[in-house]
Structure 1
Amino acid sequence: MTTTDASAGAATAADGTPADTGASRRRPGYGALWAGVPRELGFLILTMPIAIVGLSVLWTVFFTGLGLIAIVVGIFLMVAAFYIARAFGTLELVRLRWAGRPEIRRPDWSRDDREQGFWRATFMPFVDGHYWLYVLHTMIVNPIVSVVTWTVTIVWLSVGLGGVTNWLWQPFIPEQGRSFWLNEWLVDRVVPGNDLSYDVVVGERILEFVLGVVFLLTLPFVFRGLTVLHDLIARGMLGAWRSEALEREVASLAASRGAAVQAEDASLRRLERDIHDGPQQRLVRLQMDLATIERRLDQDPERARALVGEARETAREALDELRALSRGFAPPLLQDRGLASALSSLAARSPVTVAFEDLLPADAALPAAIERNAYFIAAELLTNVAKHSDASAARLRVGMRDTGVTGRWLDLWVTDNGRGGASLTAGHGLAGLQERVQGLQGVLVVDSPAGGPTSIGAHIPYTPLTAA
């Protein structure tokens, strides 16, 4: 898998949005309205029969259970009624989707694990407001609305088709004994006291044809309006509540914050351990060497001079370790010149030859927190390449995508020609890196087959900084 292919695949995984979402938001033209007429007609024609069946079945089961509530069987009948209403409500959502309407997010029937256990599953519908709304929709709202929309559908279709085809079938209908002509009545109302002489039969056929044309021309708008009416009712009564989406978002943010805190805590513990095992021990030795030098400076100058050399070497090693550890912190270059320059410097310092590719636009306007975390992630990935991959070369690439729907994403890829086998195993470095990325609401993609190459991508969403 090449870096380009992996990046493309990860882009889909990261945002999960279709490429033509912008086109779906454009207002449909007249031709597009006509294209949707067959599906909308099928939806509207079946609406009243399905509503009547739902009303009959649910009314019978619900009120039978209500009448027998004093005994156990009544409770189970009411539970059955709730699930029948849920089935008819779900059918309405499926039919609306089939009719071309945007998908309505359904309620989370098992939220908070309330369906765990037989008795919880049995009594849960009684306390879930969604079930009561589904019952109200199936027993009252949908039957009333469907009678109106079904009637309008039949009338509009009949007048339209009957009017434009009346010249075919009208001659076969006898006109004897007919005393009312609509065209004559309209002429008398428009031109009172007129003495016009014309064939009322021909006038009636012309009027019916004109009405048929008008009804057919407006038919797509009427069908779309009736379908939208059902859609609005279903969204209000059968869809998930906004509070549920907020609850899920809060839970997701809490989990992400917890992952970020755990990742940061692990990083701090690792830094503390590294400082204790490395520079701190060397500084303690340096202090002891200086004390020895001070004691022997007059008594044994040659030995003191040798200890000065050892102390100088200890100080140099401690300084090197502190410099290495400081790579885990945001360097001044990152704050002064931005992410691209900091990553370029990071690639230049790597023990493995790293080719850096900067695809960030000049107006990326990355928040400081995103830049800092991206730098940490790149540093960790390049450290893993140097320590574990046995690679001779690597590539570090950074870029940005604007999906238009889920916002902007920062894409950070590290690819090496090592031995592969990297995985998100719990307790290992990549698992901690995944927690850091998830804490930023991002996605970490690992593609590392045995034998290599390894491609690891971090995809992080962000909101661009606005100019002051």
Structure 2
Amino acid sequence: MSTETVIQTAASEATAADAAPKRRGYWSLWAGVPREFAFLILTMPIAITSLVLLSTIFFTGLGLIVVVFGVFILVASLFIARGFGTLELVRLRWAGRDEIRRPAWDHADRNQGFWRTMFAPFIDGHYWLYLLHGMVINPIVSIVTWTVTVVWTSIALGGVTGWIWQRYIPGEGQDFWLYDVVIDWLVPGNTLNVDPRVGESVFEFVIGLIFLATLPFVFRGLTLLHDVIARGTLGAWRSEALEREVAQLAASRGAAVQAEDASLRRLERDIHDGPQQRLVRLQMDLAAIERKLDHDPEAARELLGEARDQARETLDELRALSRGFAPPILQDRGLAVALQSLAARSPIPVMVEVALPTDAALPAPIERNAYFVAAELLTNAVKHADASGIRLAVSTRDTGPTGHWLDLWVTDNGHGGAALSAGHGLAGLEDRVRGLRGMLVVDSPVGGPTTIGAHIPFVPLA
């Protein structure tokens, strides 16, 4: 199976999974009861351990704050609080809750020496929230949830099984029966006369069934309570997501600028080494022709032939260089026709498969960059792959949550061995694609075939 097929199949499955409605029936709640019970029953022991350990270390460090050594103890307590908070996030994920995005602990601007790294927790609000969670919030909440878990489970299991083991418990002299009190309260003046042990067993069995039937809802609600608290105190802030998005956009723009700058430098070098030198030679030939035209027409005629050859070769080189710019056919007739024209000029046969939308046009920057990527990949295949056939496939897909993507694949039957090495053509292509917030996939084992895919996100034009 090709890399293209694998990626498209995975994308289709992910889209189908997102589109399929999740079933939330009563019996599906029971499937999570074992994990939720394990989470809840272990919560209080972990919370009490966290309370004792953090309180001891934190207040010891606070008491020794006047001594330099106390600062290190405070820092240690913050890191230990971070460990307990991370454990809570892992346990919630294991209990079946959606993953909570964790804070970005490593900041590039803070890794500047031992002391700056050491004192970083003091200015990071997440450490103090983790300390508050581990030393105050979680111990209080866990006592409530642990108590409810133990009581609810005990009543449910004890009620439905009491008729088995209660007969072996001595009950002489017992004159208080709970079922009798409840029935007298519900039906005043009733004359019900049953064996007290039988009546008590039936009453406890009914109560046990009620508690057992509601057990999944109680466990789910208690787990959700811990999840909500963890999201508010242990999760990353929305401002951090915005900062990360801004940083990614800045990096993407920087990569695009670097790729464009590299392309301009390469074009400048190519013009200087090729057409410019030929134009200088052509100028010299024309000057020589002008000098010999009157007294040596034959020599002038020979120089005219050489000048004509120089002009033709210069024109050919300029045409080759102009392929790095958007051709008029791309602007006039669109990406599909431009790729067909690009494939027709290839010295190696190219099979073109284009499946582009007809109801919504692609943005001009996406078309232009896709054309550049295709031209570069075809050129690399012709120059380096030693291939006898090339396949160029272009299509779009709508993945739903992640938006629309343009997929461009170039496959050749050459000897393979292509890699994303720094300073090479594929590295420049990767910079260009990454600048568009896309990705470049290279699958080129030794011996071939080589499959390279560029995946670029876009917003369709209405």
- Name the TM-score, length of structure 2 as normaliser: 0.88
Equivalent position of 1:73 in the other structure: 69
Which residue identity is paired with 2:442? V
The one-letter code sitting in structure 2 at the alignment partner of 1:264 is E
Which residue of 189, 208, 212 maps to 1:194?
189
Instruction: Determine if contact 1:10/1:445 at 8 Å carries over to the other structure.
Output: no
User: Are the equivalent residues in 2 in contact too, given 1:115–1:124 (CA < 8 A)?
Assistant: no
Equivalent residue number for residue 431 of structure 1: 427
Distance 1:16 1:105 in 2: 25
Q: Quote the Cα distance in structure 1 between the aligned partners of 2:192 and 2:452.
A: 88
Q: Is the 8 A contact 1:419 1:451 kept in 2?
A: yes
Shift in CA distance, 332/353, structure 1 to aligned 2, threshold 3 Å: same
Structure 2 unaligned segments of length 5 or more: list them: none
2:2 pairs with 1:5: yes
Asked if structure 2 preserves the Cα contact closer than 8 Å seen for 1:17 and 1:406, the reply is no
Structure 1 position 153 matched with structure 2 position 149: yes
Would the aligned equivalents of 1:364 and 1:400 in 2 still touch at CA under 8 Å? no
Between the aligned partners of 2:338 and 2:116, the Cα distance in structure 1 is 56
User: Per-residue CA shift, 1:241-273, capped at 9, x if unaligned?
Assistant: 222222222222211111100111121222233
Shift of 1:352: 1.6
Cα drift, residue 422 of structure 1: 2.7
- Note if contact 2:439-2:454 (Cα within 8 Å) is conserved in structure 1: yes
Q: Distance in 2 between matches of 1:355 and 1:48?
A: 66
Computed over aligned residues only, the root mean square deviation of the Cα atoms, in angstroms, reads 3.1
Q: CA deviation at 1:105?
A: 2.2
Matched, 1:97 2:83: no
Counterparts of 2:152 and 2:359 in 1: how far apart (Å)? 55
CA distance in structure 1 between the partners assigned to 2:416 and 2:109 by the alignment = 40
| Distance of 1:205 and 1:464 partners within structure 2 | 69
Deviates more, 1:153-162 or 1:456-465: 456-465
Task: Classify 1:23/1:58 alpha carbon distance in 2 versus 1 (closer, same or farther; 3 Å).
Answer: farther
The question of whether the paired residues in 2 share the 8 Å contact of 1:396 and 1:413 is answered with: yes
| Structure 1 residues 173 and 464: CA distance shift in structure 2, 3 A | farther
How far the C-alpha of 1:373 sits from its partner, in A, is: 0.6
Q: Secondary structure at the match of 1:112?
A: coil
Match 2:60 to one of 35, 60, 64: 64
Counterpart for residue 111 of structure 1 = 107
Q: Which has the higher contact order (CA 8 A, sep 6+)?
A: 1
| Cα pair 1:260 1:438 within 8 Å, conserved | yes
Q: CA deviation at 1:125?
A: 2.0
State percent identity of aligned pairs: 70
- Residues 1:319 and 2:285 aligned together: no
Matching of residue 398 in structure 1 with residue 394 in structure 2: yes
Match of 2:334 among 327, 338, 351: 338
Instruction: Give the direction of change, closer, same or farther, for the CA distance of 1:438–1:16 in structure 2 (3 Å limit).
Output: farther
Distance (Å, rounded) in 2 between the aligned partners of 1:150 and 1:449: 56
- C-alpha distance in 1 between matches for 2:4 and 2:417: 19
Q: Give the match's secondary structure for 2:108.
A: helix
CA distance in 1, matches of 2:432, 2:9: 21
Secondary structure of 1:461's match? strand
After superposition, the C-alpha distances for 1:214-247 in whole angstroms (9 at most, x for unaligned) are 2111111111111111111111111222222222
Q: Offset of 1:203 from its aligned partner? A: 4.1
- Which amino acid letter does the alignment assign opposite residue 2 of structure 2? D
Q: Mean Cα displacement is larger for which, 35-44 or 286-295?
A: 286-295
Report the CA distance between 1:389 and its aligned residue: 2.7
TM-score when scaled to structure 1?
A: 0.87
Partner Cα separation in structure 1 for residue 195 and residue 133 of structure 2: 48
Q: Is the 8 A contact 2:15 2:400 kept in 1?
A: no
Distance 1:52 1:151, change over 3 A: same
Name the structure 2 match of 1:385: 381
Q: CA deviation at 1:6?
A: 2.4
Q: Distance in 1 between matches of 2:180 and 2:362?
A: 75
**Counterpart amino acid of 1:274?**
D
Cα offset for 1:396? 1.5
Which residues of 2 match residues 294-373 of structure 1 at below 5 A? 312-360=308-356, 362=358, 365-373=361-369
- Give the Cα–Cα distance (whole angstroms) in 1 for the partners of residues 65 and 330 of structure 2: 71
Whichever residue aligns with residue 209 of structure 2, its letter is V
The CA distance in 1 between the partners of 2:384 and 2:339, in whole Å, is 20
338-347 or 296-305, larger mean C-alpha shift = 296-305
- Pick from 202, 227, 231 the counterpart of residue 223 of structure 2: 227
Distance across 1 between alignment mates of 2:292 and 2:391: 53
- Residue 38 of structure 1 and its aligned partner are, at CA, apart by 0.4
Question: Residue 129 of structure 1 corresponds to which residue in structure 2?
Answer: 125
Separation in 2 of the partners of 1:145 and 1:41? 16
8 Å Cα contact 1:293/1:308 also seen in 2: yes
Equivalent position amino acid for 2:420 in 1: L
- The worse-fitting range, judged by mean Cα deviation, of 227-236 and 182-191 is 182-191
Moved more, 364-373 or 79-88: 364-373
Look up the SS of the partner of 2:2 in the other structure: helix
* Structure 2 counterpart of 1:139: 135
Task: State the distance in 2 between where 1:16 and 1:60 align.
Answer: 53
Which residue of structure 2 aligns with residue 244 of structure 1?
240
Contact kept? 2:12, 2:399, Cα under 8 Å: no
Q: Does 1:275 find its partner at 2:271?
A: yes
SS of equivalent to 1:105: coil
Which residue of structure 2 lines up, in the alignment, with residue 88 of structure 1?
84
Is this contact kept in 1: 2:155–2:211, CA < 8 A?
yes
Provide the secondary structure at the position in 1 that maps to 2:455.
strand
Structure 2: which amino acid aligns with 1:5? S
Q: Unpaired runs of 5+ in structure 1?
A: none
* Counterpart amino acid of residue 6 in structure 1: T
1:295-322, CA deviations, whole angstroms, 9 ceiling, x for partnerless residues? Answer: 7777777777666655554444343333
Picking from 169, 193, 197, the partner of 2:165 is 169
Is this contact kept in 2: 1:259–1:438, CA < 8 A?
Answer: yes
Change (3 A) 1:88 1:24: farther
